[in-house]
Structure 1
């Protein structure tokens, strides 16, 4: 079993139109979706699965969050051995508790956090002793890269490496945009160990956030599916080190996401 403590392992879309989002991402990424929980218990939660099993979920934006102005958004859950203790520890290190720890019946205990620069993520300790298996690198339909548009680059980098145990790799000079720091959630400093990057938030991005890159086959075919489904490609396709190609996009409801794939392969 995979130990997800200190690592992103579950990804969740809160959206204004779950049915439309399920159809869009099912076509673009190839996810299958299954409802979770008791039938008739309010808005359904749908579990998404890629080629190696469950990886995330889709739900309607909660009414109280919608009243506070929440827009459609992809969030990530970091594994925790003790949500209450970790929330207190991360808060003392410069983070902020956005929602106090509470239980989700049949799922586990979670808290909503923000890093020093303001990017939001969640902590989660599952209620079951059975742990998920980690997907192989670049498994179709899973997250192949994690990218932080940091509100406070130096403090955020120190926060994730110091508090979650992440390691750093090469830092790439992006000129006026600052430094792109490769990071690993799994240890090691070689390029193949890297699982994401941290960079200063670009001016065109409205708030600090985590952006998740979902793995597809052919990137050009995926671009066609995004556009045909009513999404908007913001940037790309762009080739990145290692030979992969990426895009950043928004779905029809406005949530930002990203894709990583290849060229000249089966879609």
Structure 2
């Protein structure tokens, strides 16, 4: 996996079983609690798109120690890196911070949890080499896969330079959002991976937000409501015609969904 690509997503939550049930109803994911044991991670639930053994995300318990240190239910994204220690050093040299690791996860690779210079949390992963071919995975942007990543930063302009130097990300299109500022798309030698912008004043701190692909935004909103989640923003049409919505799961973790243009 190329340095700088998003490679995994993980939900830290107060109730992994309830979260797996909620996201199963909303996204159609199937939970595999035994996969964590295979990965050597103990109590760790992997969720999959039906018909594909390659997981799309993991879920784990928010421990008391995490809570005591300010942790709360949240989704995190992992970026593939060539060298975990060197990337941690790059974060720290620019004013970032290592919150956990580096640590080795059996059968997975070497990981760390870090904060960028403006405080947004992101995870690093140097995966182990696979023996044999990769298991089948859903098509890119298929329903149930993660399709977009979004950073709300203290300063979108300066934080982009940091990530460009650390992960090799390049500027894509910039969208003028009026009073909300500029929404800068980023890529890695291919299609855009996500966007970043200066956060709204009412947002308490910088953070990363992750979008799951769904087939229809209104149907997905109905599933969120029926399963006990809460829509907090949207639906909205974004440049290009895609529809997005942001929501909270029953444990309070924010997640977002995106659907292709209609017609």
Q: What's the TM-score, normalizing by structure 2?
A: 0.90
1:38 equivalent to 2:37? Answer yes
Structure 1 residues 231 and 263 mapped into 2: Cα distance closer, same or farther (>3 Å)?
farther
Partner of 2:66: 65
Partner of 1:127: 128
CA RMSD of aligned residues (A): 2.2
Greater Cα offset, 134-143 or 124-133: 124-133
Distance apart, 1:59 and its partner CA: 0.7
Superposed, 1:149-188 pairs within 5 Å as 149-184=152-187, 186-188=188-190
Distance apart, 1:134 and its partner CA: 7.2
- Give the Cα–Cα distance (whole angstroms) in 1 for the partners of residues 159 and 203 of structure 2: 17
Partner of 1:5: 3
1:95 equivalent to 2:96? Answer yes
Structure 2 gap ranges (5+)? none
Conserved in 1, the CA contact under 8 Å of 2:37 and 2:44? no
Distance apart, 1:43 and its partner CA: 6.4
Conserved in 2, the CA contact under 8 Å of 1:142 and 1:215? yes
Distance apart, 1:73 and its partner CA: 0.5
Matched pairs, number = 257
Conserved in 2, the CA contact under 8 Å of 1:145 and 1:214? yes
- Give the Cα–Cα distance (whole angstroms) in 1 for the partners of residues 69 and 96 of structure 2: 21
Moved over 4 A (4+): 130-135
Distance apart, 1:64 and its partner CA: 1.2
- Give the Cα–Cα distance (whole angstroms) in 1 for the partners of residues 36 and 257 of structure 2: 29
Conserved in 2, the CA contact under 8 Å of 1:48 and 1:57? yes
Distance apart, 1:50 and its partner CA: 2.5
- Give the Cα–Cα distance (whole angstroms) in 2 for the partners of residues 76 and 134 of structure 1: 18
Structure 1 residues 155 and 135 mapped into 2: Cα distance closer, same or farther (>3 Å)?
farther
Q: In structure 1, the residue corresponding to 2:117 is in which secondary structure?
A: coil
Superposed, 1:1-267 pairs within 5 Å as 3-35=1-33, 36-38=35-37, 44-50=43-49, 53-130=54-131, 136-184=139-187, 186-188=188-190, 193-262=191-260
Greater Cα offset, 76-85 or 127-136: 127-136
- Give the Cα–Cα distance (whole angstroms) in 2 for the partners of residues 31 and 127 of structure 1: 25
Greater Cα offset, 86-95 or 12-21: 86-95
Distance apart, 1:109 and its partner CA: 1.1
Q: What's the TM-score, normalizing by structure 1?
A: 0.88
Distance apart, 1:264 and its partner CA: 5.9
Deviations 1:137-178 (A, max 9, x none): 311111111110112322210011121111111211112211
Greater Cα offset, 11-20 or 129-138: 129-138
- Give the Cα–Cα distance (whole angstroms) in 2 for the partners of residues 199 and 150 of structure 1: 6
